[in-house]
Structure 1
Amino acid sequence: MEKLYLLAVGHYRGGDYQRSRHFLEKCLEIAPHWKQPLSLKKNVEERITKDGVIGIGIAVTAVSLIGIAAAALARRG
């Protein structure tokens, strides 16, 4: 159980939040009220959400820039 938690911590520190969440869920299946995995899981979920929002923002920006470039090229032609 502690090894699963340590794997979760290692993946969290390495930025692999999905894998960290996987190991935390395994920990919590065994010990659902263990405070350390519960706390880390909250942080992992926040990072996953934050990264998702940032990813969406980047995608929207890229699409907007492509649209602007296409409009500029269409005006030249």
Structure 2
Amino acid sequence: MASLPYAADAESPLKPEELQVLRSQYEKEGEYVGIQTKFNYAWGLIKSSSRAEQQEGVRLLSEIFRASPERRRECLYYLALGHYKLGNYQEARRYNDLLMDLEPMNMQAASLKGLIEDKVQREGLVGVAIVGGIAVAAGVVGSLLFKGASRKR
């Protein structure tokens, strides 16, 4: 069983020429592209700092996941990572939880779970702060309007 990379590995993009090698191989195989070639290219795309390339990587992995049951376990982690990088934390959590159900002792999935939970919590707090700020602003505006309306009487 191949070892999965840690989430931090997904943060370091391939050099453009390395990604080009994977892209060229993928394109050369055309409609008969092998699963491993497609998988390698998808992983290279997920590592990219380009959101469009990350999305394409997730799309390719989703195709592999649906078409190749024997690669699903491996795809779960990479799909979780791809969605994590795209900021789709609910999807990332869903794929990662499926992997954790299959492999409760998987250290990479456990590490990714921590990262996902951190982001969800941090973004949740930012969301609460934004909503709170909007509520305060609405209250101030409302009280000013109310004072203005009561002065006109």
The answer to whether the superposition gives a TM-score over 0.5 is yes
Stretches of structure 2 lacking an aligned partner (at least 5 in a row): 1-72
Could you say what secondary structure the match of 1:5 adopts?
helix
Residue among 82, 97, 115 paired with 1:43: 115
> Aligned residue for 1:73?
145
CA distance in 1, matches of 2:146, 2:110: 54
Stretches of structure 1 lacking an aligned partner (at least 5 in a row): none
Report % sequence identity. Answer: 30
User: Is 2:59 the partner of 1:7?
Assistant: no
The one-letter amino acid of 1:52's match is G
TM-score, length of structure 2 as denominator length:
0.49
The one-letter amino acid of 1:50's match is R
Bigger RCO of structures 1 and 2 (CA < 8 A, at least 6 apart): 1
User: Which stretches of structure 1, 4 residues or more, deviate above 6 A after TM superposition?
Assistant: none
CA distance in 1, matches of 2:78, 2:147: 58
In the alignment of these two chains, the number of paired residues is: 77
TM-score, length of structure 1 as denominator length:
0.95
The one-letter amino acid of 1:62's match is I
> Aligned residue for 1:61?
133
CA distance in 2, matches of 1:13, 1:43: 11
CA distance in 2, matches of 1:76, 1:20: 49
Decide which structure has the larger Cα Rg and report it.
Answer: 2
- Deviation at residue 52 of structure 1 after TM alignment: 1.0
> Aligned residue for 1:19?
91
